[in-house]
Structure 1
């Protein structure tokens, strides 16, 4: 099927105000040749129309969601911070042209301020742009960076005159920040209003708030979004003109995001179970998509700082798990460094464990067992053997051997102190595992738990770990699988390097306390 023309007026198909009867999808349809016609001539509140197509001698209509124009596709990678950050940096460095005596301090203040702006969310995408809303946060972070550098300058130079000169130069930067930010925001608003830069948006829902949001996005281009369609559950009837186009159901969201080249998904009053909604928005295809949500209790402020809104409807950005990028590369680098150093430093302890295992249970010091890693990929995990199973089937399907009489005193000691898991440092070095992550499980139990608990399979978005948040929270052995899955998914969705450090410190405490299985 040829790619339909879009509302940019590209010749090749006529656009009709015609709503299709359900079920009429022709085979291998051909778009009707027609003169140039643009959607911009219709009223701003009207939803996108469907295309009238011919299949041989029969005429039919088919529901087609918004397809971005070539211009929209070219502007997809553009973000507001690409303009705001260089202008902010130029304003902060501009005082060097007046006085080069304090250039080191000026550069340091500029870099610290840009970092503080980034951490504070001042370069995140916003729908409502207002310099006055951002003003307190801008100057609070700039003054904090300036104060920190001024303390260092005073300590190094010890001259009041030098510090006074540095602060005078910093005052010039303070004056320039406001017009710099106003300039970048004005440029972004102009580009949005002229539709030079716009991003496709899907609304997940179909209630009154969702309909109002769609109307606002169609009518006001300054929000930088072009409405692509509703995604909703079948029980919500989209029978009115303002409730169209309905382009799919929540289970199809990942495919629709790819098809419409969607950059933003807004969740608004959808009549859907939370588990179903979570499965839809957690799909891997949405990892580069901005997720926004209309809070249900809109009358109560949900956050401090400068809230965002579309019209008078508040929208809250939802944090996406950081499963790639520089931070994730740092995590892998620290895994390699940590496992290498740990294998060297802990080699005497591992030697004692190997000797004890050999004396208590005979040959076969290392026990290998298949586990499921990231994206469902199987691998062989290595542990010190604490008992000898009857056969491979028993080792793959026996849930907990902590109280098995075949576990000897030394094996029970290793399990209680988690020393039996030290060989997994080699799995970490190889890349099968990470230091902190969900607990690796056997294929039999992964299949079983994934059926009983839908959130369990979502744990495998990241590599499995030697230790994890669920384990240090007491969820080991015979504990509810649903609780483990919740803790593991909480770790994934709130992951940070500092969270890894906290889990490692708590793991050390568990080892010395003997809180293993």
Structure 2
């Protein structure tokens, strides 16, 4: 097996990133000044462009080290790389513009700079994605392995082994288990690597085998052995990771926090608790909603008039829903049913062939046109473009007693569309399945995840057979 040294890999990454950036510079220069596709008036010599391109390249490398772009990413998803690429090259480009302003380089082509940043980001993403795929394939074939020893052959250790076995592309290989209470696995777990000895044999195993990481998967009652285990691992220069015995009670992504100098386990990692993520999502909501309202205003005006003509009563329908932090707000829709007692509409579930619907209402509900006024809710800050769908307080009180973790959805703003809806969970579908999809979205939010949901909403169409 070929085991790569992380420092060597980092040096390779830095060198190739530097070369890639310079190649993108040359490609941009050719596109602008030699391809013949663009009009150009070049009064600045090539060596000046090359100087600033080199400055930019080294600045991107230094900034990459500063924001952790070159830290180990074996366990990271590719979306993490994309985010870091935008951060590194976005900030580096702003720095380049600042330096050009200070140096009074007023004749550098602005069109070239625009081409350079676009080509650079696209090229870097393509190159990093290719590297990621190559590493996945090499690891599946047995190269670039990291060897793991699991302490504890109980349910926690076995669960970790099974999870690791499902991801061979990560390049981890379990050498075996150490356990004080078992010498071999039960018959149904014979597919797992063997139990090599007891916890007291750890020192011998670290000396005899190549071990990169030791995973502590022991029960809470064995906590007295943790100090011995950690000391042995640190003496051997091996990384130690702990899986808490109560992990099955925690959500998918808990994280460590710090309060008054003491470590705390935050049982639910919500990316949108971060101020930068909140601002990014809110800015996108405002811009996206404004353009949707602008584009669909003729449709909304036509629907407004049609409702007034075909059915007595207001064209808009407002209904109380529960939103962020369990605060209620009025959500707006185009009215699709005959006017009724508000108390009735707040406590009745819409069913197939509901007699309360108008003829026009059936059409606008099935095509989701009735949802368009909710973009005004987004502008007002009550909702987001993407998020869990809000529910009426009457039903919230019922669901929170029957559906585990139902109230978790109120940690973020509700949305017009969401991960559950794009997976067909809308209308008369399982509430439990919806909540599981909503929680997955909340714990795994990224800006690109929002874009993916919006694209799926558009490409799958707005017509929904479950929208009664």
TM-score range, shorter chain: 0.5 to 0.7
Partner of residue 447, structure 1: 397
Map of 2:220 onto structure 1: 207
Is the 1:383–1:422 contact (alpha carbons within 8 Å) kept by the matching residues of 2?
yes
Higher helix share: 2
- Conserved? CA contact 2:390–2:414, under 8 Å: yes
Q: 1:165 to 1:206 in 2, by over 3 A?
A: closer
Separation in 2, partners of 1:483, 1:466: 18
**Structure 2 residue aligned with 1:328, among 257, 260, 278?**
278
Structure 1 position 148 matched with structure 2 position 21? yes
1:419 and 1:150 mapped to 2: Cα distance? 48
Instruction: Summarize the Cα distance change of 1:204–1:402 in structure 2 as closer, same or farther, 3 Å threshold.
Output: farther
Q: Is the 8 A contact 1:415 1:516 kept in 2?
A: no
TM-fit CA distance, 1:354: 0.8
Cα displacement string for residues 223-282 of structure 1 (whole angstroms, at most 9, x for unaligned residues): 9xxxxxxxxxxxxxxxxxxxxxxxxxxxxxxxxxxxxxxxxxx995555483xx226976
* d(CA) in 1 for partners of 2:322, 2:360: 28
Count of aligned residue pairs for this structure pair = 291
1:278 corresponds to which residue?
A: 250
Q: Is the 8 A contact 1:418 1:516 kept in 2?
A: no
Residue 363 of structure 1 deviates from its aligned partner by: 1.8
1:381 equivalenced with 2:331 (yes/no): yes
Cα RMSD (Å): 4.5
SS of the counterpart of 2:440? helix
- Please show how residues 65-464 of structure 1 align to structure 2 within 5 Å: 132-153=5-26, 155-156=28-29, 157=46, 206-207=219-220, 210-216=223-229, 268=242, 270=244, 272=246, 274=248, 277-278=249-250, 321-388=271-338, 390-464=340-414
What is the Cα deviation at residue 339 of structure 1? Answer: 1.4
CA distance in 2 between counterparts of 1:370 and 1:287 reads 37
How far 1:472 moved relative to its partner? 1.1
**Structure 1 unaligned residues grouped into runs of 5+:** 1-130, 182-202, 224-265, 294-317
Alpha-carbon distance, 1:445 to partner:
1.4
Deviations 1:343-381 (A, max 9, x none): 222111001111122122212111111101011011010
2:84 is aligned to none
Task: Deviation per CA, 1:76-118: give whole Å up to 9, x if none.
Answer: xxxxxxxxxxxxxxxxxxxxxxxxxxxxxxxxxxxxxxxxxxx
Deviation (angstroms), 1:482 = 0.9
Matched residue, 1:65: none
Which of 409, 433, 456 is residue 506 of structure 1 equivalent to? 456
Q: Secondary structure at the match of 1:397?
A: coil
1:275-332 CA-partner distances (Å, limit 9, x unpaired): xx22697699889999999xxxxxxxxxxxxxxxxxxxxxxxx975343222321110
Q: 1:212 to 1:167 in 2, by over 3 A?
A: same
Contact 1:439–1:466 (Cα < 8 Å) also in 2: yes
- Aligned equivalents of 2:365 and 2:375: distance in 1? 16
Post-superposition offset of 1:396: 1.4
SS of 2:346's equivalent in the other structure is: helix
- Counterpart contact for 1:436–1:466, Cα < 8 Å: yes
The answer as to whether partners of 1:321 and 1:493 remain within 8 angstroms in 2 is yes
